Amino acid sequence: MRSTKTIHVISAHAEGEVGDVIVGGVAPPPGETIWEQSRWIARDQSLRNFVLNEPRGGVFRHVNLLVPPKHPEADAAFIIMEPEDTPPMSGSNAICVSTVLLDSGILPMKEPVTEITLEAPGGLVRVRAECRDGKAERILVRNLPSFADRLGAKLEVEGLGTLTVDTAYGGDSFVIVDAPSMGFGLVAEEAHDIARLGVRITKAANTQLGFHHPDNPDWKHFSFCLFAGAVERGEEGLRTGAAVAIQPGKIDRSPTGTALSARMAVLKARGEMGEGEQLTAVSLIGSTFSGRIVGTTRVGDRPAILTEISGRAWITGIHQHMLDPSDPWPEGYRLTDTWGAR
């Protein structure tokens, strides 16, 4: 075999959503902060294309690059590469990264609980891992501050008319629609329709509503559309269905950790969820993330909440992605059958 580059990857998924982790073969990108490094990766595109485009990647794949942390309190840092975005934070990817770090021995595991601090592009996240028999069985992540943006905003979507939506930030930016009122029961058979409709709603929201993070002027768009189920209250707390449409047109297989934080921010703003309460979100494949409001804060001039989200992840394989010098598609390719129109 011959190769002009070899990238070492440990593959994982968190409650169904793929979150591979690059553990070797890539030098840290330039930048004084993890955020600046992530912006370099977003602009440069070469690493994103190599690992996300076919034939090595696909629209279903997220990939995380481990880099040395910049903050003195952080044990490790990671840069998230999603199909279309290089975001500040991702719950499922943080859970995958934590699991890979501990299960592979990159960071030492202490049973029954290991505490680590990760540096995401958007800031520090504190992690508690419940561990047994050499396996990180459940990851609990103190997420970035989350806040409701607009409540009950009107949005025109061609073919749908006027929708009433909420917008919020939970480590990433969301436009949130009520799934039952749109005729969705949030079952697996609806994934195709929800994915394509969600992309249309996200694009409409970016055009008509816009998003601006008070403390991060670089983040000024909506990434996702959350189709939110009704909230039911039971003995174990609150429970809801969730389906997040990810550009260019897929559904998150997990319940989406940042969406869970964003939904809790909206519920808190409406007085429908209080500090200390738990909300469990269920994905289209039946997997779950649980979230709690653990405190309040402010982001710029906005009231915000501090959340803890939890879920499980599993390592699925070890890969070496290589590039033969004669390969005519060194950065891969995309076709609209799965990637959608650009």
**Single-letter amino acid, residue 121:** P
Instruction: Output the pLDDT for position 329.
Output: 97
DSSP 285-340: TS-EEEEEEEEEEEETTEEEEEEEEEE-EEEEEEEEEE--TT-S-TT-B--HHHH-
Relative orientation angle of helices 91-103 and 257-269, to the nearest 10 degrees: 130
Instruction: Give me the pLDDT at residue 324, please.
Output: 96
Mean predicted confidence (pLDDT) in 63-90: 98
Above 70 in pLDDT, residue 341? no
Q: What is the pLDDT of residue 138?
A: 98
Query: Is 47 a residue whose pLDDT tops 90?
Result: yes
pLDDT digits (tens, 9 = 90+) for 284-295: 999 999 999 999
pLDDT digits (tens, 9 = 90+) for 314-339: 999 999 999 999 999 999 999 999 89
For the record, the structure tokens of 200 come out as: 């249309």
181-234 residue pLDDT tens: 999 999 999 999 999 999 999 999 999 999 999 999 999 999 999 999 999 998
pLDDT band at 1 (very low <50, low <70, confident <90, very high): confident
Confidence band for 340, pLDDT divided at 50, 70 and 90 = confident
For residue range 269-311, list pLDDT tens digits in order: 999 999 999 999 999 999 999 999 999 999 999 999 999 999 9
Q: Distance of CA 247 to CAs 243, 263, 298, 321, Å?
A: 13, 19, 29, 24
CA proximity to 95, closest of 39, 33, 18: 18
Q: What global pTM score does this model have?
A: 0.97
- pLDDT at res. 39: 98
Tens-digit pLDDT profile for residues 48-59: 999 999 999 999
Question: According to the model, what pLDDT value does residue 75 have?
Answer: 98
Computed over every residue of the chain, the mean pLDDT equals: 97
> Among 5, 118, 61, which residue's Cα sits nearest to residue 334?
61
Catalytic: 90?
Answer: yes
The answer to whether 264 touches 144, Cβ cutoff 8 Å, is: no
Of 11, 90, 283, 310, the active-site residue reads: 90
Report, as an integer, the average pLDDT of 61-88.
97
Segment 94-131, tens digit of pLDDT:
999 999 999 999 999 999 999 999 999 999 999 999 99
